[in-house]
Amino acid sequence: GDSVTQMEGPVTLSEEAFLTINCTYTATGYPSLFWYVQYPGEGLQLLLKATKADDKGSNKGFEATYRKETTSFHLEKGSVQVSDSAVYFCALSEGYGNKLVFGAGTILRVKS
């Protein structure tokens, strides 16, 4: 079945450091890919998405490119802020039943 694997956390960075959170997936078809962010005590918010190969999703300085050849969708940000501290989830949907398959989540901590 479909699955999503994310790098384990927590990831601890200093403010203004470069961020990469790795995400790879296994799917039978051509899924849409997503990154969600969850701030403490809140629900998940859609951060960015890509619906086909080579698409780049971007939002709030975060980017991720849909790489079909490596089945990856790594999240990057050039300069993190303390306010980016949260849990980040990679997810995919093949469309059937519109079900989302989530990775386990990666905790990001940014120190000032």
Would you count residue 105 as binding other proteins (CB under 8 A)?
yes
The DSSP bridge partners found for residue 20 are 76
Binding mask 16-35 for other proteins (x = CB under 8 A): ----------------x-x-
Q: Which of 29, 69, 97, 112 binds other proteins (CB under 8 A)?
A: 97
**DSSP line for the chain:** --EEEE--S-EEEETT--EEE-EEEE-SS--EEEEEEE-TTS-EEEEEEE-STT-EEEETTEEEE-BTTTTB--EEESS--GGG-EEEEEEEE-SGGG-EEE---EEEEEE-
Strand pairing of 19-21 and 11-14? unpaired
Would you count residue 82 as binding other proteins (CB under 8 A)?
no
- The nearer residue to other proteins, 25 or 36, going by C-beta atoms, is 36
- The nearer residue to other proteins, 49 or 74, going by C-beta atoms, is 49
C-alpha triplet 82, 42, 95: angle, nearest 5°: 105
Q: Which of 45, 79, 81, 83 binds other proteins (CB under 8 A)?
A: 45
Looking at 13-21, 58-66, 74-82, 97-105, which segment touches other proteins (CB under 8 A)? 97-105
- Contacts to other proteins by CB under 8 A: 32, 34, 36, 42-46, 49, 51, 89, 93, 95, 97-100, 102-105
